Amino acid sequence: MRLTTKGRYAVTAMLDLAFHSQKKPVTLTDIATRQTISLSYLEQLFSRLRKAGMVIGVRGPGGGYKLSRAAIEINIADIIAAVDEPIDSTKCGGEGNCQDGLPCLTHNLWMGLSDQIRTYLQGISLGELLEREPITDVAKRQDHTLEQVVNMVPAHQEKLSA
């Protein structure tokens, strides 16, 4: 199975959102900056996540996105599915038509692997990931980096206007 950028970025963005939306809604710009993901790409992903009922948009000043339900209730497999990313190790997309319209010699092997991966990802929630120390350490480091970037912008603008 090859998880594409779409699936990886969706999981990363949702974990960032889960970590930061505990206090207030989170803007896609902040997620894009912290995770070095294109803002336009995030907009596409969040459109799909919103349609899947995983996130809620909050309008107005202080707006952004927040999770639609508790982080413990959102598993990783559902996030990947929400952005139309298949969890499939077969070359036939699970159809069983990999060799002249029939299953190939290793079809059941790859189907079993796909099932194992899906089960593994269904068993991990955003809430569980938030409790893992390495993840909270990285999130705190990224917050610090974002604060440095934000603090540099006004200083740079003052130099330009002088």
In the chain, where are the structural domains located?
Answer: 5-89+125-161
Q: Choose between 90 and 145: higher pLDDT.
A: 90
Per-residue pLDDT of 58-74, as tens digits, reads: 998 889 999 999 999 99
How far is Cα 95 from Cα 61, in angstroms, rounded to an integer? 48
How far is Cα 111 from Cα 29, in angstroms, rounded to an integer? 38
Assign 66 to helix, strand or coil. strand
Task: Provide the percentage of residues in the chain whose pLDDT is more than 90.
Answer: 67
How far is Cα 96 from Cα 107, in angstroms, rounded to an integer? 7
Report whether pLDDT(42) > 90: yes
Task: Provide the percentage of residues in the chain whose pLDDT is more than 70.
Answer: 93
How would you class 149 by CB atoms within 10 Å of its CB: exposed for 0-12, middle for 13-18, buried for 19 or more? exposed
Whether 113 and 107 have beta carbons less than 8 Å apart is answered as no
User: What was the pLDDT predicted at 147?
Assistant: 73
Residue 2: which pLDDT band, with cuts at 50, 70 and 90?
A: low
How far is Cα 53 from Cα 154, in angstroms, rounded to an integer? 37
Task: For domain 5-89+125-161, give the CATH number.
Answer: 1.10.10.10
E-assigned strands of 38-151?
Answer: 55-58, 64-67
* Mean pLDDT for the chain overall: 89
Per-residue pLDDT of 90-108, as tens digits, reads: 889 889 999 999 999 999 9
